[in-house]
């Protein structure tokens, strides 16, 4: 969805060129999340942050090669900077996927070596690839051969059976030798036998010190940390030790945290956008999605957390998630739900 939808925005806000300045976009990123970081979420995020590196949901090589490429890969320029996360284990297919995707304007390509789901394991990619560092290196070599853009790897500190710091370092160095430009490290191991993906996000203990040590002992590597990071203060603390911070569920459940990022992390002037402005700016987009025959429910779902932890959030969620909303009245339903939010909450900026 491009062109006209790009112009549906809150035009009164002054945004800053996302390529401006010397601070790389990966200084702060929103993690790739299935059924969350789709084009609708990314559009909403861009109302609050122009500098953050955004990711697609993971897209498999098979889907790109054999599926509806335009539907899967098209992005709006407003979504940039953006990384395409790929899932697969065949170097030839990975390279072909990158060649196909290169025409769509992505800024970098990321290899998923962190997903622990059974479905992904059965396809022999994701976190289980950490058991075979040379294979990951071959995949990265193939990716580098297909693009001049950065190639990055998202992985865990380990998997069951390969849990030590030394094994993580061996994995990273093997993959770095193939040309990987950045390592996004989820600071937990993935337990591939016995835990669900949800449990793998919370049950294995966080090992932040191992990620810090990886950067400290290998200063030439670009290291980004991920896992259990929920606040701006957390972000700033981690940035003392690593090159970048990747936030996942917190940036979805409480998306308005993004409104502070350009100022706090990248040094831009403080944003003037309010929580209510985000909703008002997305409302015509919801209407246009409905007019085009698209289901507006996922767009509305991304907005549910915009008033997180603030007065009025429960009623906001109840009005929008407790019943089916017909596409023809979706935008009106959102506007009416906003009217029920206390003015002090709706008018909050990131610096209130």
Does 10 qualify as catalytic in the annotation? no
Q: How far is it, in rounded angstroms, from Cα 94 to Cα 91?
A: 5
If one counts every other C-beta atom within 10 angstroms of the C-beta of residue 34, the result is 12
If one counts every other C-beta atom within 10 angstroms of the C-beta of residue 206, the result is 16
Token pair for residue 6? Answer: 């790009």
Burial class (CB in 10 A: 0-12, 13-18, 19+), 332: middle
Sign of CA dihedral 186, 170, 221, 136: negative
Residue position matching structure tokens 């789901």: 117
CA of residue 294 relative to chain centroid, distance: 23
Q: How far is it, in rounded angstroms, from Cα 164 to Cα 180?
A: 21
Q: How far is it, in rounded angstroms, from Cα 323 to Cα 175?
A: 48
DSSP character at residue 73: H
The per-residue DSSP string of 124-179 comes to T-GGGGGG-HHHHHHHHHHHHHH-SS-EEEEEEEEETTB-SHHHHHHHHHHHHTTT
SS3 92: helix
DSSP character at residue 204: S
Q: How far is it, in rounded angstroms, from Cα 186 to Cα 159?
A: 11
The per-residue DSSP string of 250-273 comes to HHHHSGGGGGGHHHHTT-PPPP--
Q: Catalytic one among 10, 115, 128, 289?
A: 115
Q: Taking every pair of C-alpha atoms in the chain, what is the biggest distance, in angstroms?
A: 57
**What are the catalytic residues?**
115
């Amino acid at each position: 969805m491009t062109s006209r939808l790009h112009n549906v925005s809150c035009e009164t806000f002054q945004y800053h060129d996302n390529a401006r300045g010397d601070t790389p976009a990966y200084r702060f990123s929103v993690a790739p999340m299935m059924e969350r970081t789709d084009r609708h979420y990314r559009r909403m995020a861009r109302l609050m942050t122009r500098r953050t590196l955004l990711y697609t949901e993971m897209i498999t090589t098979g889907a790109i090669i054999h599926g509806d490429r335009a539907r899967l890969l098209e992005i709006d320029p407003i979504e940039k900077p953006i990384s395409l996360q790929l899932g697969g284990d065949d170097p030839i297919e990975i390279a072909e996927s990158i060649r196909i995707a290169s025409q769509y304007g992505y800024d970098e390509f990321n290899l998923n070596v962190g997903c622990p789901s059974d479905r992904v394991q059965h396809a022999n990619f994701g976190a289980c690839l950490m058991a075979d560092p040379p294979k990951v290196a071959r995949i990265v070599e193939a990716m580098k051969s297909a693009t001049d853009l950065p190639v990055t790897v998202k992985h865990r500190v380990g998997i069951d059976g390969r849990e030590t710091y030394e094994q993580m370092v061996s994995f990273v160095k093997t993959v770095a030798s193939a040309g990987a430009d950045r390592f996004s490290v989820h600071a937990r191991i993935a337990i591939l036998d016995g835990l669900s993906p949800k449990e793998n996000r919370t049950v294995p203990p966080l090992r932040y010190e191992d990620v810090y040590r990886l950067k400290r002992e290998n200063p030439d590597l670009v290291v980004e940390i991920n896992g259990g990071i929920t606040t701006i203060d957390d972000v700033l603390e981690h940035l003392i030790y690593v090159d970048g911070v990747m936030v996942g569920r917190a940036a979805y459940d409480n998306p308005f945290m993004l409104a502070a990022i350009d100022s706090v992390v990248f040094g831009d002037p403080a944003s003037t956008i309010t929580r209510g402005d985000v909703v008002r700016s997305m409302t015509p987009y919801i209407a246009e999605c409905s007019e085009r025959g698209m289901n507006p429910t996922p767009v509305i779902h991304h907005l549910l957390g915009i008033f997180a932890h603030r007065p009025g959030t429960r009623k906001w969620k109840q009005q929008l998630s407790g019943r089916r909303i017909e596409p023809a009245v979706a935008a009106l339903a959102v506007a009416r739900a906003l009217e029920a939010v206390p003015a002090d909450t709706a008018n909050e900026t990131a610096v209130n």
